[in-house]
A and B are shown apart, each in its own frame.
Chain A
Amino acid sequence: MNPFKLLLLAVGLVALFVAPIGQGNYIIYTLNSWLLFSIAAMGLNLTLGYAGQVSLAQAGFMGIGAYVTALMTLAGIHWIFAAVLAISSCFLVGLMLGYPALRVQHHFLAFVTLAFNTLLFLVLRNEEEMTGGSLGLVGMPRPDIFGLSTGGNLQFYYFTLVCFVCAAGVMWWILRSPWGRAFMALRENPIRAESLGLKVRRQTLLAFAIGSAFGGLAGAIQAPLVQFIEPHSFGLIHSLKLLLMVVVGGSGFFFGPMLGAAVVILLPEVLRFTEGYYLIIYSALVIVLMAYSPGGLIGLGQKLFDKFRPKQQARHDLKQGVQL
C-alpha cells in the first residue's frame, strides 16, 4: 500500500469518526444502518464479486444473526458470545446450503438461496413460541463492552464503527492472502484455475460461507440497534436490496459495497420528491447501469477516469525485455 492510499484511508477513518458528532438521532441512526449494511454487503461482495456466485439469502443470514443474538441476549448472555455464535452458525448454514448447490452448474446457488430465504421467513413467522411470530422480538439490550456502555445512539455508532473496521480488516486480510488471488482467478477463468491445482468447488463454497458469516455479524449488530426484529425485516426483498447494493457500488471492488450501501440507503431520501415512483426509477436505473457498466458505479468511475487520463502507458517498449 503506498503512502497516498494510506493517507486516504486515514482521512476516511477520521471522517467516519467525526461524521455523527453533533448530529441528530435520525442522522446517527442512518449512518449506523449504513455501516451495518456495508458489513453485510461486503460479505455478499465476496460471494458475488470475487467468487462469481449469486446469493439471494444475505438478508436471511442477517436474520439468523439477528435472531440468534436477540434470543441469547434476551436470555442474559453477553453480546460477544451471542455474536460469535451468530457468525459461526451463519458460516455453517452457508456450508450446508452451498455444498449441494455448488455440485451442479448454472446459477443453482441463486435458486437454493432464494428457496432458503423464503423458508427461513416462514419458520420465523410460524414458530411463534421461539421467534415471537409476526410480532417479532423486542427490547434487546445494547451491550456493555469492557465496561463501556453502548446504550446511547452515539456510543452505539462507535460500537458499530469498531465492528465495521474489524470486518473490513478481516476482508482485506482474506483478499490479500492466496485465497483472495484464488477467488479472483475463479471469477476470471475457472477452467484454467482448476488446471493449476485450484479446488474450484471448495474455494467457492468457502467464499459463500464466509460471505454469509459477514451477514451474521451484520444481523448481530442490527438486533441491539433496532431493538425490534420481525420476519419481514429479513425477507427476500431485503436480500435483493443487498444484492443491488453490491452491484450498484461495484461488485469485485473492495469499496464497492460501502458505496452501494450508501446509495441504496440515501437514494430514498434524495428521491423522496418522487414519492411512490422511487422504486420504479431505482430499478430502471439499475437496468441501465447493468447495460452500460456491469462494474457498477466504481467501474463506471474507472471507465471515465481511463478515458480522460492522458495515455502514457503505451511506452512499455522502451523498457528492456521481450518486445513483440
Chain B
Amino acid sequence: MAEFLQLILSGLAAGSIYALAAVGFTLLWQASQTINFAQGEFVMLPAFFVLVGMTVLGLPLWTSIAFALVLSLIVLGLMFKKLVVEPMLPHGTLPLVIATIALGVLLKESVKEFYGATAQPFPAIFPQTVYNVAGASISLQDIGNLTVSMLAIVGLQLFLGRTRTGRCMQATAQNPNVAEILGVNVKRMVLYTFLINAALATVASVLISPIYLAKFSNGETLGLVAFIAAIVGGFNQIRGALVGGLLIGVIDNLSAVYISAQYRSAMPLILLIIIILVRPQGLLGTSEGRSV
C-alpha cells in the first residue's frame, strides 16, 4: 500500500509536468490550428538554454532560468510564430504539420551538434530530501514539481478566465472572426498564446530535466506523451490536458511496477488507442459537432 501511494504521488508529479506540455499543445491548437509536432523538443530545449547560461555565461542558476525563459519566449514563441507558422498557414494544415516535424528534427540535431550528444546533469531546483511517511518515501522534489506545475496551470486558468486579455484570448480561440468584430486584436492574442506555450515549455523543462537529465533526444518521448495527454483528456480543453497529463503520469508509473517494465512506454499508447476507439472527443472533451 505504501509503495502504491508512493507510485501515485511520483506519477502525479511527473504527470503534472506532462500536463504543462499538453496544455501548451492544446492552446496552440485552439488559437491557430497548429498541431505542434515539435512540442517535445520545445520542452527539451530550454534546459539547454539554462545550461548555456550557467556554463558558458557563468550565471547563477536562477538568473540562468530567467535567461532561458527570455530566450524561449523569443525562439519558441515569437520566432516559431513568425518564421514557421505564419508563412505556412495559407497553405492549409498539412504543410504546417510537416514543417513542425522538420522543426523538431532541427532543434534536436542542433542541440546534439552545438551542445553535445551525451546526457547532461541538470541542477535540482528542490532539495533532494526524502521523507518517510508511513512506510512510503515521499520526495520533496515530487511535491515541489507537483506544486509548481499546478500553480502554473491554475494561474493560467485564472488569467484566461478573470482578466480582460485572457477573455479576449478565449474569444479568439473560439471564433476569431467574431472576436475581430468585437474589437479584439486577434493577431496579438494569437501571439500571446505562442508566448504562453513557450513559457509553459520552459517551466516543464526546468522541472523535468533534474529527473531525466538534459538530453537532445528527450523530446521524442515528451512530445508523444504531450500529444497523448491532450487527446486523452480532450483536445479542446485545458482541464482535459491537465487530467490527461496526470493520468498518464500515474499509469506510466504503475505499469512500470505492476505490469511490465519492458512495455511501460506502451501503456500510454494503448490508452490512446482505447480512447480514440471509445471516446474520441477525450475524457473531458465535448464533441465539436458536424460542420455543414
Interface residues of A (CB under 8 A from B): 48, 52, 54, 100-101, 103-108, 110-112, 114-116, 118-119, 122-123, 126, 191, 236, 240, 243-244, 247, 251, 276-277, 279-280, 282-284, 286-287, 290-292, 294
Q: How far is the CA of A126 from the CA of B262 in the complex (A)?
A: 7
* Known contacts A111-B272, A122-B265, A276-B113; is-contact A287 B94 (Cβ 8 Å): no
B147: Cβ under 8 A from any A Cβ: no
Closest-CB distance, A71 to chain B (whole angstroms): 21
Mind listing 10 A-B residue pairs with CB under 8 Å?
A100-B276, A112-B276, A114-B227, A115-B269, A122-B266, A126-B263, A247-B98, A251-B94, A276-B109, A290-B91
B2: Cβ under 8 A from any A Cβ: no
Decide: B95 and A106 in contact? CB cutoff 8 A. no
Q: How far is the CA of A317 from the CA of B119 in the complex (A)?
A: 68
Cβ-closest 6 pairs across A and B = A291-B87, A104-B280, A286-B102, A283-B106, A294-B95, A115-B269
Q: Which residues on A sit within 8 Å (CB–CB) of B281?
A: 104
Instruction: Mark B14-52 against chain A: 1 for CB-CB distance below 8 A, else 0.
Output: 000000000000000000000100000000000000000
Q: Which residues on A sit within 8 Å (CB–CB) of B235?
A: 106
B273: Cβ under 8 A from any A Cβ: yes
Closest B residue, CB atoms, query A123? B266
In B95-109, the 8 Å CB interface with A consists of: 95-99, 101-103, 105-106, 109
Q: How far is the CA of A161 from the CA of B144 in the complex (A)?
A: 60
A104, A240, A251, A284: the one within 8 Å of B106 (CB): A284
B84: Cβ under 8 A from any A Cβ: yes
Q: Which residues on B sit within 8 Å (CB–CB) of A276?
A: 109, 112-113
Q: How far is the CA of A244 from the CA of B112 in the complex (A)?
A: 21
Decide: B220 and A236 in contact? CB cutoff 8 A. yes
Decide: A119 and B98 in contact? CB cutoff 8 A. no
Interface residues of B (CB under 8 A from A): 35, 84, 87-88, 91-99, 101-103, 105-106, 109-110, 112-113, 220, 224, 227-228, 231, 235, 262-263, 265-266, 269-270, 272-273, 276-277, 280-281, 288, 291-292
Closest B residue, CB atoms, query A105? B288
Q: How far is the CA of A49 from the CA of B227 in the complex (A)?
A: 24
Closest-CB distance, A294 to chain B (whole angstroms): 4
B87, B224, B262, B288: the one within 8 Å of A118 (CB): B224
Most buried by B among A108, A114, A244: A114
Closest-CB distance, B243 to chain A (whole angstroms): 18
Q: Which residues on B sit within 8 Å (CB–CB) of A108?
A: 231, 276, 280
Q: How far is the CA of A232 from the CA of B97 in the complex (A)?
A: 24
Decide: B262 and A122 in contact? CB cutoff 8 A. yes
Closest-CB distance, A203 to chain B (whole angstroms): 18
If over half of B's interface residues share one DSSP class (helix, strand or loop), that class is named, otherwise mixed; here it is helix
Decide: A118 and B98 in contact? CB cutoff 8 A. no
Q: How far is the CA of A110 from the CA of B272 in the complex (A)?
A: 12
Q: Which residues on B sit within 8 Å (CB–CB) of A243?
A: 98, 101
Q: Which residues on B sit within 8 Å (CB–CB) of A286?
A: 98-99, 102
Closest B residue, CB atoms, query A53? B94
B91, B98, B231: the one within 8 Å of A244 (CB): B98
Decide: A287 and B227 in contact? CB cutoff 8 A. no
Closest A residue, CB atoms, query B287? A104
Closest-CB distance, A274 to chain B (whole angstroms): 10
B84, B98, B110, B276: the one within 8 Å of A101 (CB): B276
* Known contacts A108-B280, A291-B87; is-contact A279 B99 (Cβ 8 Å): no
B84, B97, B272: the one within 8 Å of A115 (CB): B272
Closest-CB distance, A237 to chain B (whole angstroms): 8
Decide: B224 and A244 in contact? CB cutoff 8 A. no
Q: Which residues on A sit within 8 Å (CB–CB) of B228?
A: 111, 115
* Known contacts A101-B276, A276-B112; is-contact A290 B269 (Cβ 8 Å): no
Closest A residue, CB atoms, query B86? A291
Q: Which residues on A sit within 8 Å (CB–CB) of B280?
A: 100, 103-104, 108
A107, A119, A247: the one within 8 Å of B269 (CB): A119
Closest A residue, CB atoms, query B220? A236
Closest B residue, CB atoms, query A54? B97
Q: Which residues on A sit within 8 Å (CB–CB) of B227?
A: 111, 114
Decide: A112 and B99 in contact? CB cutoff 8 A. no
Q: How far is the CA of A283 from the CA of B108 in the complex (A)?
A: 10
Q: Which residues on A sit within 8 Å (CB–CB) of B220?
A: 236
Decide: B103 and A287 in contact? CB cutoff 8 A. yes
Q: How far is the CA of A191 from the CA of B292 in the complex (A)?
A: 8
Closest-CB distance, B284 to chain A (whole angstroms): 16
Q: How far is the CA of A282 from the CA of B106 in the complex (A)?
A: 8
Closest B residue, CB atoms, query A248? B98
Most buried by A among B84, B103, B109, B224: B109
Q: How far is the CA of A76 from the CA of B96 in the complex (A)?
A: 46
Q: How far is the CA of A107 from the CA of B33 in the complex (A)?
A: 11
Closest B residue, CB atoms, query A99? B277
Most buried by B among A105, A191, A236: A105
Q: How far is the CA of A276 from the CA of B272 in the complex (A)?
A: 35
Q: How far is the CA of A279 from the CA of B265 in the complex (A)?
A: 27
Q: Which residues on B sit within 8 Å (CB–CB) of A240?
A: 101, 105
Q: How far is the CA of A292 from the CA of B90 in the complex (A)?
A: 11
Closest A residue, CB atoms, query B93? A107
Closest B residue, CB atoms, query A122? B266
Q: Which residues on A sit within 8 Å (CB–CB) of B35?
A: 106-107, 110
